[in-house]
A and B are shown apart, each in its own frame.
Chain A
Amino acid sequence: MAKLIIDDLHLSYGSTEILKGITATFAQGEIVALLGRSGSGKTTLLRSIAGLEEPKKGVISIGDQPVFDAAAGLNVPSEKRGLGLVFQSYALWPHKTVFENVAYGLRLRNVPKAELQQRVAAVLDGVGLGHLGDRYPHQMSGGQQQRVALARALVYNPPVILLDEPLSNLDAKLREEARIWIRTLIKRMNLTAVFVTHDQVEAMAIADRIVLLDGGRIVQAGTPEQLYTEPVSLFASEFMGVNNQIKSRVQDKRGGYARIELSGHPLWGKDRAGKGVSEEATGVIRLEQVEVVDGEGENRVPAELETSVYLGSHWEHVFRCGDQTLRAFGRPLPAGTHWLHLPPEQLWVF
């Protein structure tokens, strides 16, 4: 069942269009990441759902209830939408204790005292802060503050919880742990969650589904696997992973494949953009798909090893092939020329 529906949403600041027609559906119990660069409109979209921005066109519905409908002149204020929002800066109220920060939403809903005590304690326990209710936000670490912000957004059981770059203020180690416990917590409570991030690894780790935005439009929406293995555009492929790019022209086309060349060597790859013969095209292949092989063959190119970088679990090699650079992962290699295999089904031609 669809929990949150966005239909043809447009939003402008003055004459600059931020959202240029966003249509998306979010199912009950689903965790969706809004992924994009800064300026892609992802945060604006989240704030529009929260009721903190006013779009000029489109419809937003939560459950079966429209909360925004530009044509009907409907714009339910934030406080009546009943959503939960975790701010990037956490926005904890510095003059209230942790307990009071969390309890505020329940007080506004006139929850009886005993029940309020019990519910706040339960949600604080849920985020692992049951014993810190008397503290003030400034007495806590960044990671703890983030948990309080989450508890505050969860305590009144919102139908949808929104998270704006929830992990960006944590340091790297903490962020990896937080990814896992946030996903576990949201799944355990069977909540519908929408979160904004610019980090594709974070999006893939937490989300069931990713909506990739660029320039106020949806570029691609799907499961993390779909976005990683079947990007629909050069932008999507570049955003989701680390790639080699081969600038060339389309030489030939046959059965869904297109042929390009790298310093005179022919390379077949999946035709992903339908470019015609002799049009300029870019071949894209993920670093981990490039294999170092023993000798010549189909879809193989010779390349000079330029340098190698040790990354702990593996080596990253940088090869030179004509005027272009290719990178690949692998074991340590001697200097000199090596043959590289670029499998046709892993090479995408855009």
Chain B
Amino acid sequence: MNRATRIAVIVAMAIAVLAPIGLVVYQSFLDGPFFQPKTAFTLSAYEFVLDDEDFFDALYNSAIIALGMTAIAVPVGALLAFLMTRTDLPGRRWIEPVILVPMFVSSVVLAFGFVVSLGPAGFVTLWFKGVFGFVPWYLYSKWMLIVIAGLTHVPHVFLYTSSALRSLGSDVEEAARMTGAGPLRTAMTVSLPMVMPNILYAAVLVFFLGFELFGLPLVLGDPEGILVLATYLYKLTNKLGTPSYQLMAVVVVAIICIALPLVALQRFLLRAANRYVSVKGKASAQKPVSIGVWRWPAAAMITGWLLFTVVVPISGLVLRAFVSSWGEGVNLLDVLTLAHFRELMEFPNLTRGIVNTLLIASVGGALSVGVYTMLNLAAHRWQSGWTRLMDYLVLLPRAMPGLVAGLAIFWVFLFTPFLSPLRQTMIAIWVAYTLVWLAYGMRLVSGALLQIGPELEEAGRIVGASPGRVSRDLTIPLVKVGLFSSWLLIFVTFMREYSTGVYLLAPGTEVIGSLLVSLWGTGAVDLVTALSTVNIAMIGGGLLLMSLFGKRSHG
């Protein structure tokens, strides 16, 4: 790519990122919807929101939940990572792939799973009551929400800590052993401090995800009226009867204002962490540390966690999709049925949703990877103010939860004359998805690009190829495999995405995720569980493809 093309690509990206955010900020200072002819600048929307007790309730809840889930996810995730990578824990090989499952299942689907399993009339609840005569938990409490949020975010901590532990050379540990430290002491004084920056990064990430939480509180917080920022925004639409754009804009601005510093902090920590790990020793075959009889309690802990966060919700959900009704004293075999799936097929919007989801994940995902590749190539091996600008621009959409980004894109398509005919097509959905996952996708592709040494491209320039030809003949063919595995990850990611499409939901733009959110509101549990099961099966297919392709996922 020559300089002019690079700058053009970066400018196009700047417009795509800044337009939605700019529109939201602009809207937040108006007294009515931006497209109405008579609107005036005012701070009234801010005054209204800052006067609303519910807003502060939601803010408080978000903070408590984010803190609580961080306090749960970090120790569990770090311990899990240590046990899996460094010890002779029995059954490590088969546990490991399962650990990441909660990351790949959409959190509304997991939440439905918890409702049908652990809710007041859930499978596990009723079974427990039958055996012990009482139930010690109440699913819809704030504590339960924190525990569930914490345990379902363990994989994030696990992922970052375990990869750091793996890349840590065993020679630094062996050096500690040689100077006389026992295995436990080595772990506490050498291994753990060396991966501390990565754990810290994971902690900030989980805290940030806690603020963005939407699916879990939407489903689990609703019965008791527990609102968090994202669900407050979602409910705001109905609160005043008419859609009050300016109020929604103010909440979005608030969310971005909280998220942006956290995103910046993550970026800073990630750099610090990488610098730390690059001082590592030589990575060679590591000898697992023997933890003796502690193997069994450790194994029991992991099994318990897996049961709670993966097996119970998902098996409950799938089971519920195949039974006609459920309650106390119902015999499972009498109620088994395929009726819900047949019913699913009778709704044209639901079948369209399934087809659309497949399309957005496969074709849309490929196009998105194409966009991410273009953007990466624009900044590839180029140090300048433009690439630094791009680095920061990438962070902005990251600070917008899917719900918020979907809303902002919806407004952009409403506002821009030549875009408005496209608003009710999958193109709007694709733009929103691509934007929401921009930072993630960029990192996947740049990871692939960084695999090739600079001299392979320099050699191309030397023998006479222009920068464009180097990209076409050398760079792209060399990263083909990396791009394919990026596409698989984006495929699964788009498949489980639910919040981005919520505001864009219209005839023609249905995707499974947004359909689930709106169906849950109508109380159609049969359809919700059937559709969730279809979604899980599709994601499972994607994961299967990924493991066949033999590429480890890094979410």
What is A's interface to B at a CB cutoff of 8 Å? 50-52, 77-80, 82-85, 87-89, 91-95, 104-105, 108-109, 152-153, 156
Q: How far is the CA of A85 from the CA of B463 in the complex (A)?
A: 8
A52 CB contacts on chain B under 8 angstroms: 458, 461-462
A50 contacts B462, C-beta separation under 8 Å: yes
A78 contacts B458, C-beta separation under 8 Å: yes
A95 contacts B459, C-beta separation under 8 Å: no
A91 contacts B463, C-beta separation under 8 Å: no
B464: which of A82, A89, A93, A94 is its contact (CB, 8 Å)? Answer: A82
Q: A91-B453, A94-B478, A95-B477 are in contact. Are A79 and B459 (CB under 8 A)?
A: no
Query: Digit string of B361-386 for contact with A (CB within 8 Å is 1, else 0)?
Result: 00000000000000000000000000
B467 CB contacts on chain A under 8 angstroms: 77
Task: Beyond A79-B461, A92-B459, A108-B469, list 4 extra A-B contacts (CB 8 Å).
Answer: A77-B466, A78-B458, A80-B464, A89-B455
Q: How far is the CA of A41 from the CA of B459 in the complex (A)?
A: 20
The 9 lowest CB-CB distance pairs between A and B, nearest first, are: A105-B463, A78-B461, A91-B455, A91-B459, A108-B464, A85-B462, A87-B455, A79-B464, A79-B461
B461 contacts A91, C-beta separation under 8 Å: no
A156 CB contacts on chain B under 8 angstroms: 463-464
Across the A-B interface, how many residue pairs have beta carbons closer than 8 Å? Answer: 64
B453 contacts A93, C-beta separation under 8 Å: no
B466 CB contacts on chain A under 8 angstroms: 77, 79
Chain A residue nearest in CB terms to B462:
A85
Among residues 447 to 464 in chain B, which have CB atoms less than 8 Å away from a CB atom of chain A?
453, 455-456, 458-464
B463 contacts A104, C-beta separation under 8 Å: yes
B96 at the interface (CB under 8 A from A): no
A79 contacts B478, C-beta separation under 8 Å: no
A95 CB contacts on chain B under 8 angstroms: 477-478
Among residues 402 to 427 in chain B, which have CB atoms less than 8 Å away from a CB atom of chain A?
none
Q: How far is the CB of B480 from chain A (nearest CB, A)?
A: 8
B465 CB contacts on chain A under 8 angstroms: 79, 104, 108
Task: Give the secondary structure class of A's interface.
Answer: loop
B459 CB contacts on chain A under 8 angstroms: 85, 87, 91-93, 152
Q: How far is the CA of A91 from the CA of B463 in the complex (A)?
A: 12
B462 contacts A83, C-beta separation under 8 Å: yes
B474 at the interface (CB under 8 A from A): yes
Q: How far is the CA of A167 from the CA of B51 in the complex (A)?
A: 75
What is B's interface to A at a CB cutoff of 8 Å? 453, 455-456, 458-467, 469, 473-474, 477-478
Q: How far is the CB of A117 from chain B (nearest CB, A)?
A: 17
A93 contacts B474, C-beta separation under 8 Å: yes
Q: A79-B466, A87-B455, A104-B473 are in contact. Are A93 and B478 (CB under 8 A)?
A: yes
B477 CB contacts on chain A under 8 angstroms: 95
Q: How far is the CB of B434 from chain A (nearest CB, A)?
A: 28
Listed residue (A78, A84, A152, A156) with the most chain B CB atoms within 10 angstroms of its CB: A78
A89 CB contacts on chain B under 8 angstroms: 453, 455
Q: How far is the CA of A84 from the CA of B464 in the complex (A)?
A: 9
Q: How far is the CA of A156 from the CA of B462 in the complex (A)?
A: 11
Listed residue (B459, B461, B477) with the most chain A CB atoms within 10 angstroms of its CB: B459
Q: How far is the CA of A239 from the CA of B467 in the complex (A)?
A: 40
B456 contacts A78, C-beta separation under 8 Å: no
A79 contacts B456, C-beta separation under 8 Å: no
A51 CB contacts on chain B under 8 angstroms: 461
Q: How far is the CA of A77 from the CA of B470 in the complex (A)?
A: 13
B462 CB contacts on chain A under 8 angstroms: 50, 52, 78-79, 83-85, 153
Chain A residue nearest in CB terms to B478:
A95
Q: How far is the CA of A83 from the CA of B467 in the complex (A)?
A: 16
Q: How far is the CA of A78 from the CA of B464 in the complex (A)?
A: 7
Q: How far is the CA of A153 from the CA of B462 in the complex (A)?
A: 8
Q: How far is the CA of A87 from the CA of B460 in the complex (A)?
A: 11
Q: How far is the CA of A95 from the CA of B476 in the complex (A)?
A: 11
Q: How far is the CB of B388 from chain A (nearest CB, A)?
A: 15
Q: How far is the CB of B2 from chain A (nearest CB, A)?
A: 9
Q: How far is the CA of A109 from the CA of B474 in the complex (A)?
A: 17
Q: How far is the CA of A51 from the CA of B458 in the complex (A)?
A: 10
B474 CB contacts on chain A under 8 angstroms: 93
A91: which of B458, B464, B469 is its contact (CB, 8 Å)? Answer: B458
Give 14 CB contacts A-B under 8 Å. Answer: A50-B462, A51-B461, A52-B461, A77-B466, A77-B467, A79-B461, A79-B466, A84-B462, A89-B453, A89-B455, A93-B459, A104-B460, A108-B465, A152-B463
A88 CB contacts on chain B under 8 angstroms: 455
A77 contacts B453, C-beta separation under 8 Å: no
A50 CB contacts on chain B under 8 angstroms: 458, 462
Q: How far is the CA of A94 from the CA of B462 in the complex (A)?
A: 17
Q: How far is the CB of B384 from chain A (nearest CB, A)?
A: 12
A82 CB contacts on chain B under 8 angstroms: 464
Q: How far is the CB of B474 from chain A (nearest CB, A)?
A: 6
B464 CB contacts on chain A under 8 angstroms: 79-80, 82, 105, 108-109, 156
Chain B residue nearest in CB terms to A155:
B463
B461 CB contacts on chain A under 8 angstroms: 51-52, 77-79
Q: How far is the CA of A105 from the CA of B460 in the complex (A)?
A: 8
Q: How far is the CB of A144 from chain B (nearest CB, A)?
A: 17
Q: How far is the CB of A301 from chain B (nearest CB, A)?
A: 47
Q: How far is the CA of A93 from the CA of B456 in the complex (A)?
A: 6
Q: How far is the CA of A94 from the CA of B461 in the complex (A)?
A: 16
Q: How far is the CA of A93 from the CA of B463 in the complex (A)?
A: 12
Q: How far is the CB of A44 from chain B (nearest CB, A)?
A: 14
